[in-house]
Amino acid sequence: MAALNSVFVCRSASWLAAARAAIVFILLCGGLYPLLVTTVGSLLFPHQATGSLIVVDDTVVGSELVGQLFKAPEYFHGRPSAVDYDPFSVGGSNYAASNPALRDRVAEDSQTIALRYGVESSSIPVDLLAASGSGIDPHISPESAQLQAERVATARGITVSQVNELIVDFTEGPTIGVFGQPRVNVLRINLALDGKEASD
């Protein structure tokens, strides 16, 4: 018993015990735990570990999980972003519904899109006018892609049905029919339009 007691040198509520416990917890929870997960996780899922990068001809062209800014007519365009798709300054607009600045932005974008595609503003999908929370949302809704199909086809000199086929191919439905919303990954469908294949 004496030998055992000599191990416990601190009174349980002492400062020394607190300091020793703090350091041990930092090493265990802040050192060992992330190191273990990172080691096992990157062995099991190496592609995901470094950001799900897409590599074409030895060049990193982006990440499946990070949207990009598209402006050229031959590409599908993504959602409005409050941070111009810069992943280091991610964020949403944080405009309240009552903020006049939000109304102004949506009105301007709505008019631009209505003119560009020759449609009524009341038929523009919401996601094409609403800024995402992250500012790097990689997806648009299938409806937003369909709205752009004719423009993309014209700019590329291909048929609208070819573009529509591609949209169908790249539309992901809800997981097991329940979780999440139908969506199209803008970077991936644009890569397919360019005929570029990811070497992973």
Partner 1 sequence: MNEVIIIYAVTLLLAWPLGKYIAGVFKGGTGTGGTIFLPLETGLYRLFGVDPSQPMSWQGYGKALLKLHLVLVLIVFGLLMAQGALFLNPDGIDGMSWDLALHTAVSFLTNTNQQHYSGQAQLSYLAHTFGIVTLQVVTPAAGMAALISIVRTLLSRSDKKPQTSSDGTISVGNFYEDITRAIVRVMLPVATVIALILASQGVPNTYEGAQTATPLDQTAGMAVQNIPIGPVAPMVAIKQVGTNGGGWYGPNSSVPLENPTPLSNFVETVSIVLIPAALVFALGFLTGRRRLALVVMGVMVLMSVSLTSVAIWSENQPNAAFAGLTVEGANLEGKEVRFGATATALWGSWTTQTSNGSVNGMHDSFNPIGGMIPMVDMFINVTFGGIGVGLIGYLLFLLLAAFLGSLMIGRAPEIAGKTLEAREMKLVCIALLIQPLLILGFSAITVAFPALTGNSNPGFHGISQVIYEYTSAFANNGSGFEGLGDDTVWWNVTCAVNLALGRFIPILAPLAIAASLAAKRSAPEGRGSLGIDTATFGLMTLAVIVMFTLLSFMPVLILGPIAETLALMS
Indicate whether 175 belongs to the interface with partner 1 (CB under 8 A). Answer: yes
CB of 164 to partner 1, least distance (A): 19
User: Interaction with partner 1 in 15-34: which residues (CB under 8 A)?
Assistant: 15-26, 28-31, 33-34
Of 69, 115, 155, 168, which lies in the binding site for partner 1, with binding defined by CB under 8 A?
69
91, exposed or middle or buried, with CB in 10 Å at 0-12, 13-18, 19+? middle
Indicate whether 97 belongs to the interface with partner 1 (CB under 8 A). Answer: yes
Measured from the CB atom, the residue of 51 and 160 that comes closer to partner 1 is 51
Indicate whether 5 belongs to the interface with partner 1 (CB under 8 A). Answer: yes
**Which secondary structure element, helix H or strand E, spans residue 56, and what is its range?**
strand 53-56
163, exposed or middle or buried, with CB in 10 Å at 0-12, 13-18, 19+? buried
Q: Identify the three-state secondary structure at position 49.
A: helix
Stretch near partner 1 under the rule CB under 8 A, chosen from 8-16, 154-162, 163-171: 8-16
Stretch near partner 1 under the rule CB under 8 A, chosen from 102-110, 148-156, 162-170: 102-110
Indicate whether 89 belongs to the interface with partner 1 (CB under 8 A). Answer: yes
92, exposed or middle or buried, with CB in 10 Å at 0-12, 13-18, 19+? middle
Indicate whether 124 belongs to the interface with partner 1 (CB under 8 A). Answer: yes
Indicate whether 12 belongs to the interface with partner 1 (CB under 8 A). Answer: yes
